[in-house]
Structure 1
Amino acid sequence: MTRRILSETTSASDALLDALRSAGRVVVFTGAGISTESGIPDFRSTGGMWSRMEPILYDAFLTSEDARLTDWQRRFDMAERFAAAEPNAAHRVIARLAQEGKVTTVVTQNIDGLHARAGVPRDKLIEIHGAGDHARCLDCGKRHEIAEAKHAIETTGAAPRCADCGGLVKAAIISFGEPMPQDDLEAAMRAAVEADLFLALGTSLVVYPAAALPQLAREAGARLVIASRAPTEQDQDADFVVRTPLAATFAALEQVKI
């Protein structure tokens, strides 16, 4: 049974502070709910992108030029939205704790790049679904910039290809039907089982295999805190559940030594 459900911001902030101060190795796992307060919509919720249009499947991207061009236009729109957003207090506090060593790993399902922009060190950040701020060649892996891809399409009318090897260039995001990078998943699993506190923030915990990370941490002995505005199927396993807005909850911790 869940011990506590906290729906008042001050109580939630105090509980998080106590949990963080008593922990030695903290792993943070984030979903769309941490970024909605920065103005980035939850693409899966009612009214979100995937409720209004069909996603471009990975196989379609590989085989159809029309699908590739449609996918790229969506990525350009997303990149503009991401660039206009700013990390909020939750991103900033997590970044500070990662810099200070309290947080050992940040695993995010988000593709908005806000954790990196907030200052989470790259060696502590696992963007398990990729990142929307750049692209990569599917054959040789070379990094390409989104602006380069946009210029290529505007100039040629065709989806971009790698100048080095001729391979398809795709936004560095894990598409529907695309295998998740095994190295990233294994690194996230290792971090989860080594944690003594696991914070699941702004995630519905329905997208597997990533949603199994809190369960792994709990089974290995970590305390589990879930912060989600809506109930999740794992709430009953948490030490406590936070229902308050994440930015406001973490704002109280910005000037506090942890």
Structure 2
Amino acid sequence: AGDALRRLDEAGFSIVFVTNNSTGTCADVAETIARLNGYPASPDQVITSAVAAAALLAPDRPASMVVGGEGILSALTEREISIVVDPSVAEAVVVGLDVDFTYQSLDMAASAIRKGARFIATNTDVTFPGPGDLHAGAGAIVAAIAAASGRTPTVAGKPHSAIRALVKQRLVPGPVWVVGDRPETDLAMAKAENWNAALVLTGVVSDPGEVPSGLEPDLVNASLSEFADVLTSDRLSGERRSDPGGPV
């Protein structure tokens, strides 16, 4: 992946990493990209669903209870949003992936929401790919809190408008390509903004036939490297030809 990203860089594309992972900060994500792929990503190139959730709350800065990790806590603190643990004073509840999630977490979050706190989900991805298997994601925790509170959350991450607004702030003139492996988030985000969409078969989906109707990608690639081959060659034509712009 690192070589593919460097080739896109050299071809003049602007790269933004957009992730529904809310557990780490933008700096954490950039460090992981550098460590795993050898590509020197900057925190300024990263947008997380936690950052999108904080942006949603920034205008009012409600006192917020957090079910999640450091990524959410850091994003809220950066926006000067106070963190509370008492459900009786919480004005918002922000929910993401929490590997230490307990019955008490569920009970307190649902109580705050029933009392009128805003219910913000970083994302509703029920699973995520990990070593050897799919693992339970933030969406599973969000679903439990929704069931216990009787409320539906506002979702900040892909494919929803809060994170798309942050992406649009980073774009440079030119066609945009959204490259991802999860149709319901990555491809749906592209479709919502009429951006070009490329599905890579290295994650959640391994067969293009699994893509739901209406989310069909413009390109299907076996890997990010193959996508870079196509985008930096003359194999695209017409309106879908991407002059240096901004793949996401």
TM-score range, shorter chain: 0.3 to 0.5
> Under a length normalisation based on structure 1, what TM-score does the superposition of the two structures give?
0.36
* Greater RCO (Cα-Cα under 8 Å, separation 6 or more): 1
> Under a length normalisation based on structure 2, what TM-score does the superposition of the two structures give?
0.37
